[in-house]
């Protein structure tokens, strides 16, 4: 599932963990699972709360609460999301525990739009007293699970 990906976004992806998966569902189905924010906690159980604060065009400000893997406690944070409909969902999260929390889901249609190649990239750096290895370990465990959950839900629709 781990992928090396080129991007036109001029991002330095060297700091990102990147995983990908192919899903037997249309980009529209995958997109709806990612962007129906009120339903996200039902799809991804470790995201316990999502509240839409405001939206200006394709830019949204959300308040989220996530429950990472133990022993890390639940984390509340604000996240700015930019939607490029059915193509890319980017975010920049802000929390006192994580200095950098940036990432994106990129959707590419396959087989004439019947299937979707999803790339999930995340760059996270710890702040305060959170060791770097804890953040990296969380990413390497959680990111493939997120993609598998997304695949399972999308293919049931």
pLDDT for residue 157 = 82
pLDDT for residue 100 = 83
CATH of domain 16-156: 3.30.530.20
Euclidean distance between CA atoms 128 and 126, whole angstroms:
7
pLDDT for residue 75 = 82
Pairing verdict, β 115-126 and 75-84: unpaired
Q: Within the chain, which residues score under 70 in pLDDT? A: 1-11, 69, 97, 128-132, 134
Which tokens in the block code for residue 54?
Answer: 């405001």
Q: What is the pLDDT of residues 119-146, one digit of tens each?
A: 999 988 777 666 667 677 777 888 999 9
pLDDT for residue 2 = 44
pLDDT for residue 101 = 84
Report which secondary-structure segment, H or E, holds 123.
strand 115-126
Q: What is the pLDDT of residues 15-33, one digit of tens each?
A: 888 999 999 999 999 999 9
Domain ranges of the chain: 16-156
């Amino acid at each position: 599932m781990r992928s090396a990906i080129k991007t036109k976004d001029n991002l330095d992806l060297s700091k990102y963990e990147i995983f990908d998966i192919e899903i037997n569902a249309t980009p529209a189905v995958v997109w709806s699972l990612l962007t129906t924010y009120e339903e996200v906690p039902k799809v991804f159980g470790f995201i316990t709360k999502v509240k839409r604060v405001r939206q200006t065009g394709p830019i949204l400000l959300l308040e989220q609460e996530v429950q990472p893997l133990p022993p890390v406690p639940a984390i509340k944070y604000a996240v700015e999301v930019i939607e490029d409909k059915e193509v890319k969902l980017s975010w920049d999260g802000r929390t006192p525990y994580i200095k950098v929390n940036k990432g994106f889901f990129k959707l590419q249609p396959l087989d004439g739009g019947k299937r979707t190649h999803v790339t999930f990239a995340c760059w996270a750096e710890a702040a305060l007293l959170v060791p770097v290895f804890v953040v990296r370990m969380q990413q390497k465990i959680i990111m493939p699970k997120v993609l598998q959950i997304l695949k399972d839900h999308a293919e049931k629709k």
